[in-house]
Amino acid sequence: MTTLAGRSAVVTGAAGGIGGAIVRQLVARGAVVYCVDRDADRLRSLEAQFGDGVRKYVADLADRADTDRATDALVAATGARIDILVNAAGISRVQRFESSDDALLDLIVAINFTAAFRVTRALLPALRSSGHASIVNIASELALIGQTGYGAYSASKGALLAWSRSLAVELAGSGIRVNAVCPGPIDTAMLAEEFATAADPAAARRDETALVPLGRLGAPSEIAAVVEFLAGDDAAFVSGAAWSVDGGKTAR
């Protein structure tokens, strides 16, 4: 079992379904987790659940000034040493390309890609101080395959994946590993909201599940387990990889 005792981790999107599961997994393995999200109520809930195992930072990562404020606070709070960074903040909207607009594109790219880019850049000196730092970016199966209605989302996650690979090469000399996790359809509130936009939400859920060879939606904890592995020393020779955790969907 991975031990992360004595290590500090920053998780963005910590209040989300996948982000929250990652926080729980890292805390359970001994890390102190600095949680960043715009949902103050859910962050308070994590803090109440885990006590000293988490520290909360409320920030809207679509806002550059707010992001800068949060990263400055994180560097100060961690003593300028961060061992693990998980860029899990993300949003999704189902909208066909011909009806999409610039505002939607700008928002999705700002949160799904630009925020990860800027947060990582701001925390890079603290990550270098670790000596064995790991960056894990939560991309998507839709960075690898296409699906109707997800043009902007796929573009943002494809950018995140390509950047992850480039960064893995660039930072290897600093002892920093960079990997991406590509979840398939995961049973979260965000996915439920996507189903709710369909004319028949129950049918939308069935249709999505039918695309998964294992015949079910994934659980957030199954993504968190892979992140835990990539964050720890058992993955010391793993960098620049895209880990598909999708029940076989991208293998079809």
Tens-digit pLDDT profile for residues 63-121: 999 999 999 999 999 999 999 999 999 999 998 999 989 999 999 999 999 999 999 99
User: Domain check: are 175 and 194 in the same one?
Assistant: no
Q: What is the CATH number of the domain that holds 97?
A: 3.40.50.720
In a domain? residue 149: yes
What does the pLDDT average to over 55-70? 97
What value does the CA radius of gyration of the chain take, rounded to a whole number of Å?
Answer: 17
Same domain, 145 and 21: yes
What stretch of H or E contains 20?
helix 17-28
The per-residue pLDDT for 54 is 97
Nearest to 11 by CA among 33, 42, 32: 33
230/208 same-domain check: no
Same domain, 98 and 198: no
Is residue 162 domain-resident? Answer: yes
In a domain, 2, yes or no: no
Task: Summarize pLDDT for 168-227 with one digit per residue, the tens.
Answer: 999 999 999 999 999 999 999 999 999 999 999 999 999 999 999 999 999 999 999 999
* Verdict on whether the full-model pTM lies above 0.85: yes
Predicted local distance difference test score (pLDDT) of residue 1: 63
Answer yes or no: do 172 and 197 share one domain.
no
Residues with catalytic roles: 153
Is 77 within a domain? yes
Can you give the residue range of the structural domain that contains 147? 8-183+220-240
* Beta strand ranges found along the chain (DSSP E): 8-12, 32-37, 54-58, 84-87, 134-138, 177-183, 242-245
Class of residue 5 by CB neighbours under 10 A (exposed 0-12, middle 13-18, buried 19+): exposed
Tens digit of pLDDT for each residue in 128-144? 999 999 999 999 999 99
**What is the tally of structural domains in the chain?**
2
- The answer to whether 250 and 47 have CB atoms below 8 angstroms apart is no
